[in-house]
Structure 1
Amino acid sequence: MGMSAKDERCASPTDEEWPEVEKAEKLARGAALKWASGVFYRPEKLEGLGHYRNRETQRNSSIQSRLKSTVQSYLEGVSTGLEQLRSAVQEVQSVCQDMGAARWALLDCADRFQGLQQMRALMAEHVQLASVVQVLPQLFSVHEVFSHTLQLLRGRRLLEAHAELMMMEHLRDDILSQLHLRGLSGAQATVLSYFSGLQELNESLAKQLWGIVGSSLQLVREDPVLFVTAVRIIEREEKIDDTLLLDATFLPPGRPKGWRQKFYHVLQETITAAHFNAVRMDAEGPGLARHLAALQRDIVAELRVVKDLMVQCVPAHYNILSVCTATYHRALSSHLQDILREDLDKQALFLLLEWVLRMYPSPEVMGHPDLLPEVDVSSLGPLVSPELVDQTERKYVEKVKASVLEWMQRTLEVEFKEWFREEEPEMDHQGFFQSALPVIVVQMLSENIQVASLITDSLQQKVYNMALEELEAFLGRLREVLVQCGKEHQKDRTVPKHYVPYLLAMLNNNLALSSSIPSLHPNAACREVPASLRAALDKIQKKACQLLLEELLLDLQPLYAQLPSRKWLSGPQLVNSMCEVIDKYTKDFSHVRKPAFTLLLMESELLVVSQYLRALMQKKMVCKSKEERGQLCERLLQDATQLRELFCSLGLDRRQQSLEAVFALQELICLKDPALLSLEVLGFITKYPDASDEHISTLLDLRGDISKDVRHLVLEMMAQNPQPLPEGYRPIFSTILVPAPEQPFCLRKAKCA
């Protein structure tokens, strides 16, 4: 049941203060009621009510006992804490009373302490005066010590002089330190003035020390004691510097002296001045070679002295050998860069490149057995930067290029000057015409490439590339001179006297050059003639062949002028004369090596055939009868047969000849039935697709019996059956114009000069 309003108003203050208790009690009553209703829901269960009551009574008693025990333990702890707090309060009150008493006692003694201040000042003054009195004997003897130290320095008794100098510096620095600590900085100027002689002594000692260091390489061989003394003094000063630097409160004037760094600086300056700051040397010719040889000798000799003698005279941490080696390396690098800035000739550039890249790291200089293994040149870096090496190599190549150009021009002038001699060109042991031009040119280029190989592969490759470029340019100039010589000869065929033999020698020279060029390449696996150079060689060969064939044509021209004619039909005299001229020239051609000889033979045969056909197409003759046409056929057959036998005897295979065109033409002329002419012409143009309708029409005119209808039929048949040029076909008719004006013969696929 819930409480009434009156009960709620009469609730105790405790319940109002602790609402959780009321809530807990309600929950407990509800739980108990729920348990009882579950247990006693049947009447027979009420018999055990007494048993349940006893059990719950015992449980409540047990819980109350534990609660009482817990509350009792808690109250005992609270009581103990309160007792301790009460004791602490009493102690704090006692301490406060004692501190108050002490405060009153101190206030009572403050007036008495004021009287001790004067005693403190007197004591400080007494201490200062005592210090001054203690050092007075030393202060009075300062100037006397200065004089004595100066005498010791003049007598080169450096260790004794330095000991007295250190003593005076210690005295001065101690006084200055005391003044500094007491804030008497104004008195420091007086002390410094009194000890001003120390500066002079320091300078005098330093001057002697640096003079000794500057002569160290000589002294360690003659009088190492003096050098060792200088090093000992420098080390003493370094220790003083280190000690003073650790005490950051006061640093005396002139400190740190840094004499060890000065030692390195003087040594480096001495080395640099001795070899690299001398008067300007001759940068060309033997002067540079002598200078480099002197550097090589001096560097090795002095580094040996450092390694064998000086290292023993200085502490190990000086790393004196490494310092000297790096100094030589750095100074030499700067010195060589200064030389390379000048305008050097080819020889000087080569000497410098060889010395820098080959000699310097070799056993002759830095890799000398007496310097190993302590001296490691690989750790020093390059003597000259790769960029400067590349720039120097390019300068060298430009100088070599100028030299090669001049030499080749002189060779070219000498070569064509010999053309106007009274003698034929020289022959080799096989009877082939030749001159010294290929040997001179190839040997000159090869020597420059081989010389470059003594330096680096990159320089050799640069020179090789330059050599090929200059050779190609030389071949271009050679062809120009050849063309000019041909023009001069056309004006007067008696000059030069041995024009043909020299042209043949030129062909042999061209072959010699072509076979020698691969040997120029530094790498045997890459020995191919570049396409541009091969083209230049091909142009020379074609031009020489063209000039030779023009000579042949000039001698054959009078004979071709008589063809066709009745005189020509009357007998073989004309072809006999042609064979004599051809035979004469081919005998000259035999002085050319086989590749060129075969080419000349093929082109000569093509020239003979094309000029023969050209002469037939001049419309000088038309057969007036069947008998005359038969005579023409017989003449054509005999001429072609005789010429074919001649070229076969000279070594030209029938498959390489063009005379078959004359035989085919002879069949056209000999055809008895004009009605079959279209078929015959079709076979003819199938073999010779470059024959035009003008060519066929002109050739048919020779027969004298072709009507307009037949001609029209033949030409129409040709128009309906155009023939493509097969691959590798040697053109014959395309070089013949109808009517054909006189013009110089040109090699196929090449322009006339």
Structure 2
Amino acid sequence: MDTEADAAETAAKRIAQLLQRPEQLDKVSEHRRRLLREKESVDARLRTALQTQVDDIRSGLELLHASIQNIRQVRGNLASVDTLCKSSRALGLDASEFKQVNDARKTLIKTRKNLDRIYVVPQTVKQLKIAMDAEDCNLLYIYENLSALEFIRDELLYHARHLSDEHEALQWYFAEVDTLSDLLAKRLWHLLDQGMSLIKTKPQLLVTVLRIVEREEKADIQVLDPAAPVKIDRSRRPRGYREKALERLLASAVVRFEAQVVDDKEHVEPFLERLSKFIFEDLLTVKNDFVPCFPPHYNIFNLYVASYNSHVSEVLLELVERELEPSEILAMLNWMQSYTENLQKKLGVTAQDPMPAEKQDLLMERYTRLVREKMQEWCRNIIKNELQEWIHNPDREGPPDTDSKGLYVTEATIILFQMIDQQVAVAFRTRHGKFIFEVVQLCTAMLLGFQDDFEKELNETTNGYFAVTPEERPSFMLEFLLAVVNNSVQCGIYAEQLRSRVEEDAHLEAQFLSVCRNQLANVVSGFEQLAVVAQGHLVRIILGDLDPVLVGLFTRKWYEAPREIDTVVATLDDYANDLAQHMHPDYVPKTLALTLDQVIISYVRAMFNKRALIKSDIRDLMKKDIDKLQQFFASKVASVPELKLQVDVRLSLLYDLRELATDTESIIPSTYYKIHTRHPDFSPEHMEIMLACRDDFGRFRGGAGVSKAIREMLEKHANKAKKTGAAASPGPSSNQLVVFSHISTKQ
């Protein structure tokens, strides 16, 4: 009743929800149809659920009925078992007789079976021999049948182990089986000896051999296992087929390797190329063809690699004992480097160097020794030929060749650095850090030695040049010295490039790189010094042309018509033009600045050594000379501010001496001190010489008063410096021009 009321209430609510507004009455028929469909769907689900419940009840009743039947059957079987157990108690009295009969039966069956197997042994052996003699014999078939015969033999021998007569008879009877086993083994070893060619023609045959070897290895393991249940004779085990197979394979590899190395070894590089080609062809064959055929635990590829590496080491050590040429040593070092790299690149093998480190060091040492001897000879020849061409060749008809910029150059630079580049390049190609270091050290030592030898020869040659008369001097000495300067600059550039190449090389360790960098920096400095030496000799030649003019300074002719400095400037201008045209531009201002230094020294020397009378009008004459020099040299070195300043400083000495030549007695000490401050080698004795040459010298009390005043001034300055902790006298400067040390104060 409650269910009907609830249903009616639910239906009323549903109708109320559907018909909330008057216009919804138009859809009553549509709502009725939808509700009828929903009712039919619910009724169908209810019928299906009810049918499912009925089917489940029917199945449960059937299972219950079957269970009752099974229980009844089990109860009956248990009763039958109980009855049988009670009735079999008397059978235990006859069990021993049953056992004896059963054992006898088993023995009879086994004996008959063994006899049947023994009777077929000769026939089976004969068949297997025929099969083995066939050209394309089935080795696996032969092996399986032979293994069956061997098992029969070993089992019978085991059972007859205590019966000597029967044991000997069985040994004799199965002798052909042993012979056949030996023949099969020889066939297997013969095929393995040809493994490298077999893998390319009949790889399946090699796989068959390896399958037989694997089975033999398993048989060895099984027979030698003490817990193995099989009772057979073990006297022929283990056979060790796996070890023998690997020995034969590696032995065949040795034969192939030795066939390659018996060729002519006199030409090392072609021999190593052939050897490398052979090794990598074989190892690639092993990796690509052998490895898939062999069981993984054989590790066959690594065994071949180890074997070849061992023999490669032996060959290389044999070559090391020979007297090798440098090119052959390089070939060996390059080959070893490429060999290990190709092992990694082509085969994925990380191997040690094929030669011990101490032997490699021995090779490098031998190479550097041989190359050092040759390079020393080459350097001597370069210097000899250079000097022979330009100094000792009277038939020389023209100056050195010029480069694209018009600078004089000789072949020495090109030849020298071609030699160096060749050695460094071959060292870099080895990619061997220590060897690169040794070669770079060798080259830097050669370059430093070349610089020393060339400088020595250049000095001796230049001294010889000035020791003879102008008519006997070489025609192109000046041009040659210009070429030496230019060559030295170019060599410095080459050395810098070499240093950059060394620093960029990834094979040099940090400790080696630091040493090479410092040594090459010394090489660069050495060539700069060589350029300075040649520059100094250039100045000597220029000054040699000026000396005849400079000797006219402070003479009567100079006082009357002072044209000497005009001639000096004109001559220097010609030289400056030649330098600007044929000398490296960095060294032209430097050379002219050095020339000015020598002109000043000559000027001062003329002033002091002539002991000529210094007249009062010297002020104007010297000012004109100094101004001309100032104007000329300042214009020539204007591109280098440091040198322009140096010109002013240098010429200030002449201005100060000009003042000293005309100063009054009271001013002379201060002027002297100003000069002495810049030129500590200017002594009171030098000043007394100047005063003695002045035409008004009689007004100075013989010069004694001035000298005394100067010495008092110096002493006063020294005492003051001592109190303040300053230097008692000016110290020499690295850029200071030494003038008065060249002028004697002796009368």
**TM-score, normalised to structure 2's length?**
0.69
Contact (CA 8 Å) 1:241, 1:258: kept in 2 or not? yes
Aligned partner of 1:238 in structure 2 is: 217
SS of residue paired to 2:559: helix
Q: Which amino acid aligns with 1:646?
A: F
**Displacement of 1:245:** 0.6
Contact (CA 8 Å) 2:220, 2:237: kept in 1 or not? yes
**Displacement of 1:668:** 1.3
Q: State how far apart, in whole Å, the 2-side matches of 1:725 and 1:202 are.
A: 105
Contact (CA 8 Å) 2:154, 2:232: kept in 1 or not? no
Q: Which amino acid aligns with 1:209?
A: L
Contact (CA 8 Å) 1:472, 1:533: kept in 2 or not? yes
1:299 is aligned, of 266, 282, 300, to 282
Contact (CA 8 Å) 1:694, 1:738: kept in 2 or not? no
Aligned partner of 1:589 in structure 2 is: 579
Change (3 A) 1:177 1:487: farther
2:690 is aligned, of 675, 699, 703, to 699
| Residues 1:273 and 2:255 aligned together | yes
**Displacement of 1:254:** 3.8
Contact (CA 8 Å) 1:575, 1:639: kept in 2 or not? yes
Q: State how far apart, in whole Å, the 2-side matches of 1:172 and 1:637 are.
A: 131
Change (3 A) 1:151 1:661: same
Q: State how far apart, in whole Å, the 1-side matches of 2:731 and 2:689 are.
A: 21
2:403 is aligned, of 406, 409, 428, to 428
Contact (CA 8 Å) 2:535, 2:591: kept in 1 or not? yes
Contact (CA 8 Å) 2:408, 2:583: kept in 1 or not? yes
Q: Deviations along 1:463-509, whole A, 9 cap, x unmatched?
A: 44443333222222221221232233234354432011110111111
Q: Which amino acid aligns with 2:480?
A: Y
**Displacement of 1:554:** 3.2
1:174 is aligned, of 155, 163, 167, to 155
Aligned partner of 2:348 in structure 1 is: 376
Provide structure 1 residue ranges, at least 5 long, that are not aligned to the other structure: 1-119, 369-374, 742-753
Q: Deviations along 1:602-654, whole A, 9 cap, x unmatched?
A: 11111111122223322x4353xxxx622444443343333333323433666
Q: Which amino acid aligns with 2:712?
A: M
Contact (CA 8 Å) 1:559, 1:577: kept in 2 or not? yes
Aligned partner of 2:226 in structure 1 is: 247
Q: Deviations along 1:14-66, whole A, 9 cap, x unmatched?
A: xxxxxxxxxxxxxxxxxxxxxxxxxxxxxxxxxxxxxxxxxxxxxxxxxxxxx
Aligned partner of 1:438 in structure 2 is: 413
Q: State how far apart, in whole Å, the 2-side matches of 1:511 and 1:638 are.
A: 37
| Residues 1:467 and 2:443 aligned together | yes
Contact (CA 8 Å) 1:489, 1:496: kept in 2 or not? yes
Aligned partner of 1:645 in structure 2 is: 631
Change (3 A) 1:190 1:580: farther
Change (3 A) 1:431 1:186: same
Change (3 A) 1:601 1:524: farther
Contact (CA 8 Å) 2:193, 2:252: kept in 1 or not? yes
What are the equivalent positions in structure 2 for 1:229-628 lying under 5 Å apart? 229-247=208-226, 252-276=234-258, 278=260, 279-282=262-265, 284=267, 287-288=270-271, 290-292=273-275, 294-295=277-278, 298-299=281-282, 302-303=285-286, 307-308=288-289, 310-311=290-291, 313-315=293-295, 317-321=297-301, 323-324=303-304, 327-328=307-308, 331-332=311-312, 335-336=315-316, 338-339=318-319, 342-358=322-338, 361-362=341-342, 367-368=345-346, 376-378=348-350, 404-419=375-390, 420=393, 421-456=396-431, 458=433, 459-492=435-468, 493=470, 494-520=472-498, 521-522=500-501, 523=503, 530-590=520-580, 591-618=582-609, 620-623=610-613
Q: Deviations along 1:688-716, whole A, 9 cap, x unmatched?
A: 33312222222222214341432442442
Q: State how far apart, in whole Å, the 2-side matches of 1:543 and 1:594 are.
A: 17
Contact (CA 8 Å) 2:423, 2:439: kept in 1 or not? yes
- Identical residues among aligned pairs (%): 22
Contact (CA 8 Å) 1:281, 1:291: kept in 2 or not? no
SS of residue paired to 1:674: coil
Q: State how far apart, in whole Å, the 2-side matches of 1:318 and 1:683 are.
A: 96
Q: State how far apart, in whole Å, the 1-side matches of 2:738 and 2:574 are.
A: 24
Aligned partner of 1:674 in structure 2 is: 665
**Displacement of 1:461:** 4.9
| Residues 1:655 and 2:645 aligned together | yes
Q: State how far apart, in whole Å, the 2-side matches of 1:196 and 1:239 are.
A: 24
Change (3 A) 1:662 1:355: same
Aligned partner of 1:717 in structure 2 is: 712
Change (3 A) 1:561 1:192: farther
Contact (CA 8 Å) 1:283, 1:348: kept in 2 or not? no
Whichever of the two has the greater Rg, that structure is: 1
Contact (CA 8 Å) 2:554, 2:612: kept in 1 or not? no
Change (3 A) 1:144 1:405: farther
Contact (CA 8 Å) 1:518, 1:529: kept in 2 or not? no
Q: Which amino acid aligns with 1:488?
A: G
Q: Deviations along 1:490-538, whole A, 9 cap, x unmatched?
A: 3435443201111011111111222332221223699888442244223
Contact (CA 8 Å) 1:283, 1:339: kept in 2 or not? no
Aligned partner of 1:76 in structure 2 is: none
Task: Report the number of matched residues.
Answer: 599
Q: Which amino acid aligns with 1:173?
A: D
Q: Which amino acid aligns with 2:445?
A: E
**Displacement of 1:427:** 2.0
| Residues 1:228 and 2:207 aligned together | yes
**TM-score, normalised to structure 1's length?**
0.68
Q: State how far apart, in whole Å, the 1-side matches of 2:203 and 2:338 are.
A: 35
Contact (CA 8 Å) 2:555, 2:612: kept in 1 or not? no
**Displacement of 1:344:** 4.2
**Displacement of 1:200:** 4.5
RMSD: 4.2
Contact (CA 8 Å) 2:681, 2:740: kept in 1 or not? yes
